[in-house]
Structure 1
Amino acid sequence: MSDTTAPGVHPVDQVPRFARLFPLGLQHVLAMYAGAVAVPLIVGGALGYSAQDLAFLISADLFVAGIASIIQSLGFWRFGVRLPLMQGVTFAAVGPMITIGTTYDITAVFGATIACGLFMIVMAPFFSALLRFFPPIVTGTVILIIGVSLMDVAAGWITNNGESAAPSDLALAAGTLLFIVLVERLAPPALARLSVLLGLALGTLVALPMGKVDWSGVGEAGWFAVVTPFHFGLPTFPLAAVVSMLVVGLVIMTETTGDMIAVGEITGRPVTKQRLGDGLRADGLSTVLGGIFNTFPYTAFAQNVGLVSLTGVGSRFVATMAGGILVVLGLVPKVGAVVEGVPSAVLGGAGIALFGMVAASGIRSLTKVTFTSRNILVVAVSLGVAMLPTVRPEIYAEFPTWFRLIFDSGISAGAICAILLNLLLNGDQLRRAKETTQGTTPELEPTAQAPTSPST
């Protein structure tokens, strides 16, 4: 996975040479950039902010996303899972934040975000204790759901969030995807690991004469931006706003747990209870920083999980480099404007490969499971429940806000369903798993074992 192999050092902890570290990190940034800037654009636009204020929100978001990614991948003390995970603003908070912002103002959004982050830090050790409820039947299902659910994002990039794609956009997406596949098949291993970055670069070059690359914002963007704390005023803490964001915090922790377990499976470093707690604690700290620096709750970005699987590069220092690049993008808006010019259709073509690899990783995890009729039902029902809000986004429009917060996200809905169904259908094996850890029963069947790393 790395140029700089060292005896006895796990690939996750090895550091590639800078000549490869930088492009590998940039590849992660390009894979997540569109999703990273979408939330401040949506929330700021809904609250009627000016172009100048929107630009500040984006700069703040990128700046904190970089710090959050560094904390999560590099780690310090009991903060950070120390795996190649990228952090960005969660979409799960968009609805509640718009409601809070229109009912109160943006300072209430930031106050509720800070409260949410503190809640996540406090809850991290308790939530991590639930790791035994994530045996391979659950983790494989959740990882599969993450990949399949994200295909809606890839389709949205190709269609520019419309109902259908222009033939030229579809051709760009297909060409980008085909080029990535050919690089993986024909290029030397060193270049194959940069297949997504090369695909995005070629797709952008092809799109230039087609008039689909918009770099008009580069000239208007400044060379330097100072991200100041409490730019919009001191945070306020209305009770209703805080409570709604605490629910978002639980959703974030559920989604992040799935992403961390997925990366642990892909890199061959399974996530232990302590690592999970450290990762969730880092999410909470990043969310607190988000509220202080005028941005929103943070979580692991699932699209980058697919990139780790596709490239085979599991070094956490690649994510650290990507975090550093994000910090620079937040402080230098002109550079960020260049990255923003990558056509969404090109991103969509790469997204098909990235998100498909996440789904494939879930299938790989499920190969460890003995597929009894009960286990088939766990996977089938969980996947079906997760797909409902993906194929019909307004299916829960008539339900209360608290319900929509959880079930409008196919990932959190599917994860909850998989956990509960496994408890219902395989509860006896879970009880035996607990007894086995105390040395009182013989070895378990595959469905109740703790997650293990795939053979490599």
Structure 2
Amino acid sequence: MHAPPPNPDIPLRAGVMTADQARDPDHFPGLAVAVPLGIQHVLAMFVSNLTPAIIVAGAAGFGFGSPDSSALIYMIQMAMLFAGVATLIQTIGVGPAGARLPLVQGTSFAFLPVMIPIVAGQGVTAMAQLTTAAICGGLFHIGVSFFIGRIRFALPPMVTGLVVLMIGLSLMRVGVQYAAGGVSAQGTPAYGAGISWMLAGIVVFTTLGLSFFGRGIWSIASVLLGLAAGYAAAALLGRVSLAPVGSAPWFMLPSPFHFGFALSASAILGFVLMGFISAIESIGAVSAICENGAGRPASDRELIGATCADGMGTAIAGVFGAMPNTSFSQNVGLIAITGIMSRHIVTIGALLLIACGLAPKVGALVTTIPIEVLGGGVIVMFGMVASAALSILSGVDWTQRNMLIFGVALSIGIGLELEPDAVSHLPDTLRIVLTSGVLPAALIAVVLNLLVPDRTAQPLAAPPGVPT
């Protein structure tokens, strides 16, 4: 696959760099180009990076407006700080860890279906189980990275597409709940009020408008700008209070085991199993960057380094009370748009994330976003996750065998998530893992794909009367 021509919007015509330099990960284009593009990378992933921490805190019961909102501010800070740290591991490298490519790391959505059932209604104390599981899962992930080439056969596009689809589908309910006023408002007259949906709608339509008709940074940062529009509307309506920002300190260092240390078999098992999916996500990101940006396939060292950095970033984040990390696909697309492969640009973005992560006032400002405004952004993001899954699945050969495997896995995964009481008699560890939706669907698809022989040579024909 040949690399696309460099984007004419970047200053190649001014002689800043040649096309070969633009495809070279080790080339530094100078601060005049690197700083704005590094900021652009941060803007592209900023909201997605913070959202998982906000969702987990809300599920646990210490979300926006709760007495324990200081814990939420800490989680937001750690999401920024350790996204930056994990990104530096990828771009600069630490021993075998790091692809030394322009990979941006951020908090992973993939683990949310596992984390939410564990912390649901349990308060801040439940966070110790998650962060401890992140450490264990990250260490396991590091070990798996050295064998990643041998297990890729077990995760074809049908399986990975199913997993990504399950992640998107399982989280769409969260977006609607937020847009309607938040879980805490359920059962009250305020839940589902017109003003809530108006604020969420402003975010959705602003994001869509900028994505479709904007250019450059206006399109790339459309979700962030959509949230800004919703935030401004909420402020005009008197629904924003900046009191948390005034009381937050200017500087804060992370604290080891901030939420404590607690072993949970269900959490550790869930993190270990989802680590395989995260590893495959990173392989896809590395392959896309190398093929589309550098015009060559990814090397084994780059694949191993990327997945090893995933595990190392997750383990380090867990030590300091942060969520697991993975590579962000939206930044892979950004590299294709700019045509510049320099890892040093992403390094500058990582340093900016670290600086934000050390300033609690940034996290406090995020907590002032009304839940309905955040809901509008979440609806867009989780919809895009499901759309990405359909893109992956479009390349699958839909034989009768594949359709049956996919259908059974999808049916059981969604069914158990919608009706968790169906496995209420199982031990807690198995119950939590099975009701996550993602893990049972993935396990069923992997096992059936390995065991069931492919005896259908042609794709399944459409039933009579169904248009093809």
Q: TM-score range by the shorter chain?
A: 0.7 to 0.9
- Aligned twin of 2:276: 254
- Aligned twin of 2:139: 118
**Worse-matched range after superposition: 120-129 or 215-224:** 120-129
Percent identity between the two aligned chains = 27
Is 1:64 matched up with 2:82? Answer: yes
Amino acid at match of 2:106: M
**Matched residues in 2 for 1:55 and 1:420: separation?**
41
| Structure 2 CA distance for partners of 1:113 and 1:21, relative to 1, 3 Å | closer
**CA contact under 8 A between 1:115 and 1:288: conserved in structure 2?**
yes
- Aligned twin of 1:452: none
- Aligned twin of 2:19: 7
**Matched residues in 2 for 1:390 and 1:275: separation?**
36
1:291-440, aligned counterparts within 5 Å? 291-293=318-320, 295-296=321-322, 298-300=324-326, 305=329, 323-392=350-419, 395-426=422-453
Give the deviation of 1:256 after TM superposition: 0.9
| Structure 2 CA distance for partners of 1:364 and 1:328, relative to 1, 3 Å | same
- Aligned twin of 1:289: 316
| Structure 2 CA distance for partners of 1:178 and 1:168, relative to 1, 3 Å | same
- Aligned twin of 1:171: 198
- TM-score, normalised with respect to structure 1: 0.75
Q: 3-state SS of the aligned residue for 1:86?
A: strand
Give the deviation of 1:332 after TM superposition: 0.9
| Structure 2 CA distance for partners of 1:412 and 1:192, relative to 1, 3 Å | same
Amino acid at match of 1:377: L
| Structure 2 CA distance for partners of 1:158 and 1:396, relative to 1, 3 Å | farther
1:185-224, aligned counterparts within 5 Å? 185-224=212-251
Give the deviation of 1:217 after TM superposition: 0.5
Is 1:145 matched up with 2:162? Answer: no
- TM-score, normalised with respect to structure 2: 0.73
Amino acid at match of 1:87: T
- Aligned twin of 2:464: none
Map Cα deviations across residues 255-288 of structure 1 (whole Å, 9 max, x no partner).
3135335545765568776555434422332233
**Matched residues in 1 for 2:458 and 2:288: separation?**
22
- 5+ residue gaps, structure 1, are 430-443, 447-456
1:91-106, aligned counterparts within 5 Å? 91=112, 92-93=114-115
Give the deviation of 1:169 after TM superposition: 1.7
Structure number having the greater helix percentage = 1
| Structure 2 CA distance for partners of 1:352 and 1:111, relative to 1, 3 Å | closer
Is 1:25 matched up with 2:42? Answer: yes
Amino acid at match of 2:146: P
Equivalent pairs, count:
423
Amino acid at match of 2:161: G
Give the deviation of 1:253 after TM superposition: 0.6
**Matched residues in 1 for 2:246 and 2:419: separation?**
40
RMSD over aligned Cα atoms: 4.3
Amino acid at match of 2:43: L
**Matched residues in 1 for 2:57 and 2:69: separation?**
12
1:257-268, aligned counterparts within 5 Å? 257-260=279-282, 263=285
Give the deviation of 1:39 after TM superposition: 3.8
**CA contact under 8 A between 1:62 and 1:329: conserved in structure 2?**
yes
Q: 3-state SS of the aligned residue for 2:325?
A: strand
Give the deviation of 1:394 after TM superposition: 5.2
**Matched residues in 1 for 2:164 and 2:230: separation?**
28
**CA contact under 8 A between 2:433 and 2:439: conserved in structure 1?**
yes
Map Cα deviations across residues 229-253 of structure 1 (whole Å, 9 max, x no partner).
35678x6xx8xx2755541332231
**Matched residues in 1 for 2:118 and 2:306: separation?**
24
- Aligned twin of 1:432: none
